[in-house]
C-alpha cells in the first residue's frame, strides 16, 4: 500500500476551495432565509451561488480523487 504525500501547495488549494464553498453556501442560505420577498436579482444570485457551490464540490472531489490516484 502506498501513501500519498500532501504538499503545502495542495493544502493551500484545498483549503481555498473549501473556504469558497462554505462562503457560497452561507451566502445562498442567508439570502434564502433573510430575504422575505425576493426579487429576480436575488433569485438569480441564489441560483448562481448554488451552481458555484456544486462546482466547488466537484472540485473538492476532483482534488481528493486526483491525490488518491497519484
State the Cα–Cα distance between residues 67 and 10, nearest whole angstrom. Answer: 9
State the Cα–Cα distance between residues 42 and 22, nearest whole angstrom. Answer: 19
State the Cα–Cα distance between residues 55 and 43, nearest whole angstrom. Answer: 19
Evaluate if pTM is beyond 0.75: yes
Task: Give 12-68 pLDDT, tens digit per residue.
Answer: 999 999 999 999 999 999 999 999 999 999 999 999 999 999 999 999 999 998 888
Q: Which residues contact 70 (CB under 8 A, 6 or more apart)?
A: 4
State the Cα–Cα distance between residues 70 and 35, nearest whole angstrom. Answer: 45
Amino acid at each position: 500500500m502506498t501513501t500519498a504525500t500532501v504538499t503545502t501547495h495542495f493544502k493551500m488549494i484545498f483549503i481555498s476551495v473549501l473556504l469558497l464553498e462554505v462562503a457560497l453556501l452561507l451566502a445562498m442560505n442567508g439570502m434564502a432565509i433573510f430575504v422575505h420577498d425576493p426579487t429576480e436579482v436575488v433569485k438569480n444570485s441564489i441560483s448562481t451561488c448554488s451552481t458555484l457551490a456544486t462546482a466547488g464540490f466537484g472540485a473538492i472531489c476532483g482534488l481528493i480523487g486526483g491525490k488518491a490516484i497519484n
